[in-house]
Amino acid sequence: MAKRWRIERRLTPAPGMTILVPLGSALLALVFGAVFFTITGQDALQVYATMFHGVFGSRYGITETIVKTIPLALSGLGLALAFRMQLWNIGGEGQIYLGAWGATWVALTFADAPAWFVLPAMALAAMVMGGFLAALAAIPRALWKTNEIITTLMLNYVAILWVDYFVYGPWRDPAGFNFPLTAPFSAAARLPALTGRIHAGLLIVLVLGIILYFVLYRTRWGFEVRVIGESEGAARYAGMNITRNIILVMLVSGAICGLTGMVEMAGVAHRLQPGFSPGYGFTAIIVAWLARLNPLAIVPVAFLFGGLQVGGYAVQVMGIPSAIVSMLLGSLLFFVLAGEALLRYRIRRITEESETR
Amino acid sequence: MATPLVTMHNISKSFPGVLANDRVNFELAAGEIHALLGENGSGKSTLMSILGGLYRPDQGRIYWQGNPVDLRSPRDAIRWGIGMVHQHFKLVETFTVTENIVLGDKRLPYFWRPASKERELAKLSARFGLDVDPQARIWQLSVGERQRVEIVKMLYRGCQVLILDEPTAVLTPQEANELFINLQHMKESGKSVVLITHKLDEVLAVADRVTILRAGRAVATRQRGSFSKEELAEAMVGRQLPPRPDRRRPVQDAVTLQLDNATAFGDAGQIALNNLSLQVHAGEILGIAGVAGNGQRELAEVVTGLRPLHKGTMYLAGENMTNRGVTALLNKGVSHVPEDRLGSGLVPNLDAVDNVLLRTYRHGTRPGLIDYRQARRQTEELVKAFSVQLASLGSPVKLLSGGNLQRLLLARELSAGPSLIVAVYPMRGLDIAAAEEVRRLLLRERDRGAAILLISEDLDDIFRLSDRIAVLSRGSLPVPPIAAQKANREEIGLLMMGHTEVATHG
């Protein structure tokens, strides 16, 4: 009687495992990081303690984490909607930049307008610009099946350079000592603060998360998005208009990413400058995936990522480059996705009659 | 008796939730054609996939001429001389026949001369009467020819044992006869053939011996001459076959579907439907026979609005519905039981409720919203009325068996009382009981007054259900539909082969 291992598909995920496995996987990612720290001569526990303390040890840490959670969650929501339909919008970063540009244009042009006008106008302009950039990729995708991964990725550079041009050129603040900055926004063009640096963008994130969840699971349009994402054949069979939905979903996805740009402008930066986003649009891709494209899960996952980023700043005082955060994020994604496989398969030890030869 | 060439002893194999093989014994002698008979899902393919090295058994041993062997991969199996021709061919479309056959041949030098290999293959295939052109490219070949390429491939690899998985499923009756002649040739030159099938006639036609599987167990092995068709059927099903349903109602006057001079393109831009005209009346089943790839898919898609008509018109109950799209036809009561249940009829990863909503989600009272409470209630009712076996309403439908998937799909498509039903291969892949249930449902709908366009490659089903029979060949009907009483299988077979007239038709 020989024994051997066999991998089997599970019919249904084991009970409780849908929560436990991702948590366990995240823990393993931290263990993996710890091995890395130990090899490079750091005290891993000390590193994690410093990170933890950097995030939760002070009012400042928590505030900063939430400030970073807002753009990650917001653009994560936008991307998740597109991903649901198997539209790989990698252009979140560019859409954030162009959204910020649109918001800035409104803020600079209507510098004397009251808040009730200028804030909605900024949001609208940002969404139009973000949606416009996404549409540039969506329309060829819908009509001629142009690969949207390539087009959205390339448009990122267009948008970032577009912003650079304005900030270094026509919009440069004359009173800015030649720094590449626009003039600061008027007080009316700033999102009200909830407490400290935490601004009203947090409410936008929470409300939008709930709205998107409702749209996906309770409306006819959300049903179409879910069906098209799962099976184009079935969507065609059900008489759904796939071309129109590709464009529509990309427009909304781009608009939400554009709104992220406005929220960053009006909530945090209060002026446009190059590199205002440390790659939120890219990190949001991982956020959306780790949340399994579930709008309600995106906010907590974004908070985790925001925390890791703030913790990364904290450990820099120990002489560790903040790039380790990227490494931890990468291993987190890797381990959680590997953990997914455990949910769907199980390994069993089975007995079989002895084999010869 | 001499030691069998292959012995499979006490083989068990389970998949999650299914025991596919339960302590099965199977023997294959040198130079025999051994049929492996059973319903779909009885474990035939699993057993032979184990012999072909694709699966490993949980339990049991395989012997080659009395010596135990361990088959870890198809390559292993081929080394022992066991080759399997699958239902879905594994050929590279853009390669030539020769290139496909030598593909993966380790003996082949890095630089090889196609011409000499082509001669070798021509000689090899001539020896067994297998007619293939070694220089042809796969995409130019018919399904029957592709099957021959697969067989030659196995012979080229030196296989002693050839396993054919449902080889006639894709062939016309004439092509099937040709295949059986080839098999006789192989047998005479000492090869052994395992024929996996669920068709009794094939067993009677060619098999020297037959082993019958039922629900994963081998229930009987018989020698040629010691069995009758009825005995085999009973052993296979474990009960008497149900009587044929009563049918053949006179055609009513009301024309539900009318296609006039319909011309449509296929996916590759070729003309798939060529000037085709037909009528389906309320309360009748029009059976469309024909070899797959002659416009069946395109016909179903045109009638259900999935594919535009290039020329011609389509009327539904007298109203011009040409190129009005899926939704308009859906609202007019056109139901569609598509060819691939899980590819288009149902969404594998969504649950039963969402799948029931798939074609009705637009009909709600609240604009833009879906009433899930109502949908859940409706699904519960349908699941009960059509006796769909499922673990829970919330689990993805891909976990359902083929029969239950089809029941769920029919539940959705038939519950609204459609005026026209387009059913494409609706019994394919179902076990006998489930197929019988589908037939019963279709007949019930016909009796209710629905017009049914039944597209099938299974002549048995066409003859059992249809009131009139037409043959679709190269995108058109070579002769007008024939009343089922007046049709005979040979004529239909000839029409399927591309003949354009018959001696007697009504």
Tens of pLDDT, residue by residue over A216-231, are 999 999 999 999 999 9
Partners of residue A356 in chain B, C-beta under 8 Å: 68, 70
Tens of pLDDT, residue by residue over A146-161, are 999 999 999 999 999 9
For each of the domains in chain B, give its residue range(s) and CATH number, in order of start.
6-237 (3.40.50.300), 245-333+419-506 (3.40.50.300), 343-416 (no CATH)
Whether residue B408 has pLDDT greater than 80? yes
Query: In angstroms, rounded to a whole number, what is the distance separating the alpha carbons of residues A274 and A164?
Result: 6
**Is B320 in contact with B313 (CB distance < 8 Å)?**
yes
Residues of B with CB under 8 A from a CB of A: 16-17, 57-61, 68-70, 305-306, 325-327, 330, 336, 338, 340, 343-350, 354, 357-359, 361-362, 364, 368-370, 372, 391, 395, 399
Of the pLDDT bands very low, low, confident and very high (cuts 50, 70, 90), residue B410 is: very high
Average pLDDT over residues A127-147: 96
**Is A299 in contact with A109 (CB distance < 8 Å)?**
no
How high does pLDDT run on average in chain B?
86
Whether residue A209 has pLDDT greater than 70? yes
Question: Domain ranges in chain A?
Answer: 73-297
Longest CA–CA separation in chain A, Å: 88
Express as a percent the part of chain B with pLDDT over 90.
Answer: 43
Average pLDDT over residues B154-167: 91
Closest CA to B321 of B454, B419, B416, B410: B419
Partners of residue A236 in chain B, C-beta under 8 Å: 306, 326, 344
Cβ <8 Å between B344 and A234 = yes
Of the pLDDT bands very low, low, confident and very high (cuts 50, 70, 90), residue B240 is: very low
Cβ <8 Å between B347 and A357 = no
B334-337 and B420-424 beta bridge pairing: parallel
Query: In angstroms, rounded to a whole number, what is the distance separating the alpha carbons of residues A192 and A169?
Result: 30
Query: In angstroms, rounded to a whole number, what is the distance separating the alpha carbons of residues B138 and B143?
Result: 10
**Is B260 in contact with B307 (CB distance < 8 Å)?**
no
How high does pLDDT run on average in chain A?
88
Cβ <8 Å between B306 and A237 = yes
Q: What would the DSSP string read from start to end of B229-290?
A: HHHHHHHHHSSPPPPPPP--PPPPS-EEEEEEEEEEE-TTSSEEEEEEEEEEETT-EEEEE-
The amino acid occupying position A203 is: L
Tens of pLDDT, residue by residue over A299-331, are 999 998 899 888 888 888 887 877 777 888 888
Chain A: give the shortest CA distance to residue B205, in Å: 38
pLDDT at B241: 46
Of the pLDDT bands very low, low, confident and very high (cuts 50, 70, 90), residue B392 is: confident
- Tokens 């399904």 identify what position? B143
Partners of residue B326 in chain A, C-beta under 8 Å: 236-239
**A6: nearest CA in chain B?**
B58
Tens of pLDDT, residue by residue over B177-231, are 889 999 998 999 899 999 998 777 788 889 999 999 887 889 889 888 888 777 7
Whether residue B126 has pLDDT greater than 70? yes
Does residue A236 belong to the interface with chain B, where contact is any CB pair within 8 Å? yes
Out of B336, B368, B395, the one facing A237 most closely (by C-beta) is: B336
pLDDT at B446: 92
Cβ <8 Å between B359 and A238 = yes
pLDDT at B358: 92
Whether residue A206 has pLDDT greater than 90? yes
Give me the residues of A, 194-223, that contact B with CB < 8 A: 218-221, 223
> Is pLDDT larger for residue B398 or for residue A272?
A272
Does residue A356 belong to the interface with chain B, where contact is any CB pair within 8 Å? yes
Tens of pLDDT, residue by residue over A224-271, are 999 999 999 999 999 999 999 999 999 999 999 999 999 999 999 999
Does residue A143 belong to the interface with chain B, where contact is any CB pair within 8 Å? no
pLDDT at A353: 44
Express as a percent the part of chain A with pLDDT over 90.
Answer: 57
Out of B16, B306, B358, the one facing A227 most closely (by C-beta) is: B358
Chain B interface, best mutation among A219, A231, A351, by max B CB count within 10 A: A231
Query: In angstroms, rounded to a whole number, what is the distance separating the alpha carbons of residues B157 and B103?
Result: 11
Backbone angles phi, psi at A86, to 5 degrees: 60, 35
Q: What is the separation of C-alpha A336 from the centre of its chain, rounded to a whole number of angstroms?
A: 17
Reported for B263-268, long-range contacts at CB under 8 A and 24+ positions apart, including other chains, are B263/B309, B263/B310, B263/B311, B263/B312, B264/B298, B264/B301, B264/B302, B264/B307, B264/B308, B264/B309, B264/B310, B265/B298, B265/B310, B266/B295, B266/B298
Average pLDDT over residues B411-426: 92
Tens of pLDDT, residue by residue over B491-503, are 887 787 677 766 5
Average pLDDT over residues B250-263: 84
Query: In angstroms, rounded to a whole number, what is the distance separating the alpha carbons of residues B371 and B356?
Result: 13
pLDDT at B336: 94
Partners of residue A12 in chain B, C-beta under 8 Å: 391, 395, 399
pLDDT at A316: 83
The amino acid occupying position B323 is: N
Cβ <8 Å between A218 and B395 = no
Chain B interface, best mutation among A5, A237, A349, by max B CB count within 10 A: A237
pLDDT at B77: 92
Average pLDDT over residues B283-312: 90
> Is pLDDT larger for residue B169 or for residue A256?
A256
Whether residue A180 has pLDDT greater than 60? yes
Partners of residue B68 in chain A, C-beta under 8 Å: 355-357
Which two tokens mark A216? 């996906």
Classify residue B181 as left (phi > 0), alpha (psi -120 to 50) or beta: alpha
Cβ <8 Å between A219 and B362 = no
Tens of pLDDT, residue by residue over B50-108, are 999 989 999 999 999 999 999 988 888 998 999 999 888 889 989 999 999 988 787 88
Partners of residue A231 in chain B, C-beta under 8 Å: 343-344, 347-348
Tens of pLDDT, residue by residue over A67-98, are 999 999 999 999 999 999 999 999 999 999 99
Of the pLDDT bands very low, low, confident and very high (cuts 50, 70, 90), residue B505 is: very low
Query: In angstroms, rounded to a whole number, what is the distance separating the alpha carbons of residues A260 and A97?
Result: 9
Which two tokens mark A330? 């990468």
> Is pLDDT larger for residue B316 or for residue A13?
B316
**ipTM score here?**
0.82
pLDDT at B503: 52
pLDDT at A354: 38
